[in-house]
Amino acid sequence: MEYEPHAVERRWRERWAETGRYEADPGDEEATFITVPYPYPSGGMHIGHARTYTVPDVYARYRRLQGDNVLFPIAWHVTGTPIVGAVERLRKGESDQLETLQNAFGVSESELKNLETPMGYARYFIEEADSSYKTGMKGLGLSIDWRREFTTNDDRYSKFIEWQYRTLRDRDRLEKGLHPVKYCTNERQPVTTHDLLEGEEAEFQEYTLVRFGLTVDGESVTAPMATLRPETVRGVTNAYVHPDGEYVVADVDGEPWFVSEAATEKLRLQERDVEIRKRYSGDELVGSTVENPVTGDEVLILPATFVDTDNATGVVMSVPAHSPDDYVALRELKERADELTEYGLDPAAVRAIEPIPILSVDGYGEIPARDAVESAGIESSDDPRLKDATQELYNREFHQGELFEEYGEFAGAVIEDVREELREQFRERGAFDLMYEFSEEVVCRCGGDVEVAYQDTWFLTYNDDDWKAITKRAVEQLEAIPENTREQYTHTIDWLNEWPCIRNYGLGTRLPWDDEFVIEPLSDSTIYMSYYTIAHRLDEIPVEDLDHEFFDALFYGPEAVDDPDARALDLREEWLHWYPVDFRCSANDLISNHLTFFLYHHAELFEESQWPEGITIMGMGLLEGEKMSSSKGHVVLPGEAIDRYGADTVRFFLLNSAEPWQDYDWRADRVESTHNQLRRFWNRAQEVIEAAPAADADVELRPVDRWLLSKLQTTIRRTTEALEGFETRTASQTAFYGFEEQLRWYRRRADLEREGAAWTLRTVLEARLRMLAPFVPFMANELHEQLTGTPAETWPAPDAELESDRIEAREALIRELVDDVNDIVDVTGTDPELIRVIVAADWKRTVFQQVRETGPDVGAVMGQVMQRPSLRERGDEVNRLVQTLVEFVRERDDETLSALSDIDERDVYEDAAGFLADAFGASIDVVAEENTDDEKAGQAEPFRPAIVLE
RNA sequence: GCGAGGGUGGCCGAGCCUGGCCAAAGGCGGCGGACUUAAGAUCCGCUCCCGCAGGGGUUCGUGGGUUCAAAUCCCUCCCCUCGCACCA
């Protein structure tokens, strides 16, 4: 039978679907519940996604073969704005969006109209498109229980999320507060990253405002100067304004402030009450002085065109000792001090300004900024190297700089450790304030300017110490695969802060007590695994019955509510059956958000016994060595790959080319060769199946058969061990390629015409098919059925009876002999007619036994050996042999040595004589060293016969 | 800067935890052979250097160290990737 993957795969797919093979219901067997993040159908499925879902499938199939009741469900994540945004861009006819859909996912012109509603779009990529997730998953043969699918926009799911968020609020894990958001000043509403034309990478920066005192027109006002380095406040030597800039005095929260006009809008958006009173041009203020709120010093305001009035407050303080920028700016101003008289400045006063160092940092002198500028040879403020010098110095000062005495309790401390605290202290004293600003310019797709706005929002208090503590406990009892990810969870918990969990629009569940807001995607996907356990049965219950008490009864039991709903308690049984999640398989980049949130919410909402038991991390996929990119059309679709190679090839390649947590690279030439390997396997299997005697046939086995069976047991052990730890690569390599090597030797070595050989090969094939069934389920089940009449239903167990160190050691001797003869033939270029194998003399065996007994210590062994007169006579010869054998023994473990010492070498070689004769086309003569006077005979050592070619 | 991972033969990639059977699996590529009218596929062998007897030499980012013995353990440094932080 030819290998026709598509026909085979179609047959099995249909069969599994018809018989509901993977629909899992509670039963007596041990429950295993395995999940993977539900896909986000904002586009089609590509080959990069394929492995994500195949890894858990392999584990699920493995556990089933081990006898477990396994649940592997899937659902669809549609929450948030990506789908809505995609639909909008499609409606507007944006070309890059159209290209992605058409080029990467093969959407036809006629289908586009179906994608014009968010859920229509989602449905299309969930199950309608050729590139849809469901099509891909079914094609790959994933053993999913399809009855349980849902979307996160479903009414019932929303009821569940509402329950979750009400519960979190009741437990004080949800708080309301002001939070910075991106806000389009044109559309006058918050925007998301997807709405941006420029500045997608922009971050919110929290500027410290140093509240300098200024007198304008006889009035005392506050001149807030923005800085990211509040600790430099004592090093301020002057301030800068843009001489042509538009400035105002405005009442900000009832207090007069001097800021740029642009800043007033920013402050307003940040929930400040702002009323402009009077306008000024920057040059009107040049020459005035401002009072440092920390030192009380009066410093000059100087003019500078580099000041950006559209950034923060538009008033800048200057710290020339620690900022190369400021240092250069001051130097240049001093050089042209005489010109500054036009601003009414006294040139002498400008020239008198000197940098004031406030910290020391290794590698720089008294004035670090000066050193940085001078050592880089920077001449002017236009020098591009100034940026690097600034960056370098900031980093050094932040991580290593130690504050001077004036800083009191902070003196001697490193900036990194005290910046926050110092800022807070000065804030409390009224010297500092703060405002937000973006790290770069941000522009909305509508062309409007985007600013930071403060908005009332709800956030999850991931920074609560007790919540952090309990989540860390969840990490401790977690099986983290690979183990080195454990630290990353802990690390994430350490730095995680409050998380704003709602958005203004998008798909998903509305906040139950404020339906203006939608719960965002990373926040509505933290405990939904529990929803899988009941999803298919929830459909029978009217949505309006799914109230808070219903879920309380379901998840917290009958005692949790006054009048528990019987249907909820019934569902509770199923939840308890499957929960907790045994393994969640997810991408490594989700450790820092989704996976840690998943742990947080489980730790808070559920009993410890329901906490996740394991997380397996998965690496990224590359395509021909490069990142996949839907927008560039640099993707391979599972459907295409399956059409071309068959699903088994796709699966096997994905699982065999790297361990799940490693990155892998889809390369067509390798996939091709994987396909060839599978076909070769199929063809060989066909031969074995045709010749196969019954499993219980009474056959005579030769040592070489027993050798192969012994190797099989080792293979089973190693494969099992690997799969237990999700090492899909090791497992499939061992069961497939690793064993193929043994078979190659076996085919060469054994007489395959014997029934014993046929039986051995069928036994081996059967076990391998069962081990390969998780990886290549179509092929393995098909062949298994051809061989035995049933699909592969159980995992093979190693049979200790069939393992034999002695048999393996015997075979190893033959292999070594073949290698040695080959070596000699190669080097000498001869073609021998006779190969004489001379087995070491008995006295040499005696020495070997002595070494084994005494241990690998030349002196000690010699001491023992020399007590025997027969050996003492041989003096030097014995000494040399002991040296060799000590090495030999040292390099081998006890089992091998023990096996070797039981072996009769002559018997081994004589037994293999027929094979050797065939292999070398020569006659074989096995003799004992004692019985020959060949000059090479003396070279014979135990387990290393002398070889003579004639 | 912090955290994680990594640097192996022409290439990809195992090995490293648990030191010795490691000149280092497997694949790709290359070379030779078998089969074929031929190509492809398949199968067999070779593929660091030297060697007409199973041997020797030099290799696993750098430089040290531990050990009878190091790709493997320890330390130093260099480089790469990712995440985080930092970034008038």
* ipTM of the complex, rounded to two decimals: 0.85
> Nearest nucleotide to A737 by CA–C1' distance?
B26
Protein residue closest via CA to C1' of B29 = A669
Q: How many CB atoms lie under 10 A from the CB of residue A577?
A: 16
As to burial, measured by CB atoms within 10 angstroms (0-12 exposed, 13-18 middle, 19+ buried), residue A29 is: middle
The two tokens of residue A794 are 């159980």
Q: What's the pLDDT score for residue A898?
A: 84
Is the separation of the CB atoms in A790 and A784 below 8 Å? yes
| Summary mean pLDDT of chain A | 87
- A 645-704 residues, CB < 7 A, strand B: 658-659, 662, 665, 669-670, 673, 676, 680
Asked whether strand B has any atom less than 7 Å from the CB of A829, the reply is yes
Residue A398 CB lies within 7 Å of the nucleic strand B: yes
**What pLDDT score was predicted for residue A146?**
96
Separation of alpha carbons A327 and A380, rounded Å: 10
Please report where in the chains the tokens 């995609």 appear, as a residue. A86
Q: What does the pLDDT read at residue A658?
A: 80
Q: Is the CB of A308 under 7 A from strand B?
A: yes
Choice between A505 and A141, residue whose per-residue pLDDT is larger: A141
Q: Residue A82 contacts by C-beta under 8 Å, 6 or more apart in sequence?
A: A40, A42, A194
Instruction: Tell if A592 CB is < 7 Å from nucleic strand B.
Output: yes
Q: What is the pLDDT of residue A448?
A: 77
Q: Using 50, 70 and 90 to split pLDDT, how confident is the model at A200?
A: low
Q: Which nucleotides of B are covered by protein (CB under 7 A)?
A: 1, 3-5, 12-15, 20-21, 25-29, 41-46, 51-55, 68, 82-88
Quick one: how far is CA A664 from the chain centroid? 12
Give the pLDDT of residue A359. Answer: 87
For residue A869, what pLDDT band results from cuts at 50, 70 and 90?
Answer: confident
pLDDT band of residue A31 (cuts 50, 70, 90) is very high
State which residue has its Cα closest to the C1' atom of B28: A670
Q: Which nucleotide is nearest to A835 (CA to C1')?
A: B53
pLDDT score of A739: 87
Give the Cβ contact number of residue A673 at 10 Å: 13
Closest nucleotide relative to residue A201's CA, C1' based? B87
| A763 neighbors A33 (Cβ within 8 angstroms) | no
Separation of alpha carbons A692 and A681, rounded Å: 16
Could you tell me which residue, A100 or A836, shows the higher pLDDT?
A: A836
| Predicted structure pTM score | 0.83
Which nucleotide shows the minimum CA-to-C1' distance to residue A661? Answer: B5
- Maximum distance among all alpha carbons in chain A? 123
User: Residue A442: its pLDDT value, please?
Assistant: 81
Comparison of pLDDT for A58 and A100, the residue scoring more: A58
Nucleotide lying nearest to A727, CA to C1' measure:
B14
Check pLDDT > 90 for residue A853: no
Contact A83, A41 (CB under 8 A): yes
pLDDT tens digit sequence for A145-156: 999 999 999 999
Kindly report which listed range (A565-579, A701-715, A881-895) carries the lowest average pLDDT score.
A881-895
Q: Is the CB of A815 under 7 A from strand B?
A: no
Least confident stretch, A665-669, A737-741, A760-764, A767-771: A665-669
Distance CA A483, CA A726 (A): 12
| pLDDT score of A751 | 83
pLDDT at A300: 92
Separation of alpha carbons A273 and A289, rounded Å? 27
pLDDT band at residue A239 using 50, 70 and 90 as cut-offs: very high
For strands A359-360 and A316-318, give the pairing.
unpaired
Query: Average pLDDT, stretch A145-172?
Result: 95
Q: What pLDDT shows up at residue A497?
A: 81
At A281, the pLDDT band (50, 70, 90 cuts) reads very high
- Nucleotide in closest CA–C1' contact with A205: B87
CA A664 to C1' B29, in angstroms, rounded, equals 20
d(CA A700, CA A712): 18
pLDDT of amino acid A592: 83
Q: What is the tens place of the pLDDT at every residue in A627-641?
A: 777 767 778 888 888
pLDDT of residue A406 exceeding 70:
yes
Q: Distance between alpha carbon A313 and the CA centroid of its chain, in Å?
A: 41
Give the per-residue pLDDT at A573.
96
Percent of chain A with pLDDT over 70: 98
**pLDDT at residue A201 greater than cutoff 70:** no
| A50 sits within 7 Å of strand B by its CB | no
Q: Which of residues 696-735 of A touch strand B (CB under 7 A)?
A: 730, 733
- For residue A597, the model assigns a pLDDT of 93
Establish whether the CB of A820 is closer than 7 Å to any nucleic acid atom in strand B.
yes
Q: Is the pLDDT of residue A193 over 70?
A: no
Average pLDDT score over residue span A450-470: 87
Q: What is the mean predicted confidence (pLDDT) over A774-794? A: 95
- The C1' atom of B54 and the CA atom of A821 lie apart, in whole Å, by 7
Residue A164 CB in 7 A reach of strand B: no
Residue that has been written with the tokens 């001489």 in this structure: A243
Q: With 70 as the cut, is the pLDDT of residue A594 above it?
A: yes
Q: What is the DSSP letter of A591?
A: I
Neighbours of A103 (CB within 10 A): 15
Interface residues 527-586 of A with strand B (CB < 7 Å):
none
pLDDT at A220: 92
Note whether A756 and A699 are within 8 A (CB): yes
User: Among all strands, which nt has the closest C1' to A830 (CA)?
Assistant: B52
Q: How far is the CA of A823 from the C1' of B48 (A)?
A: 17
Please check the confidence at residue A399 and state whether its pLDDT lies above 80.
no
Band (A76; pLDDT cuts 50, 70, 90): very high
A504 touches strand B (CB under 7 A): no
Find which nucleotide's C1' atom is closest to A439's CA.
Answer: B87
Spatial distance between the Cα atoms of A466 and A618, rounded to a whole number of angstroms: 30
Percent of chain A with pLDDT over 90: 37
Which span out of A58-72, A361-375, A664-678 was modeled with the highest average pLDDT?
Answer: A58-72
- In sequence order, which residues have a C-beta less than 8 Å from that of residue A937 and are 6 or more positions away? A838, A929, A946
Q: Which token pair is A49?
A: 């996604």
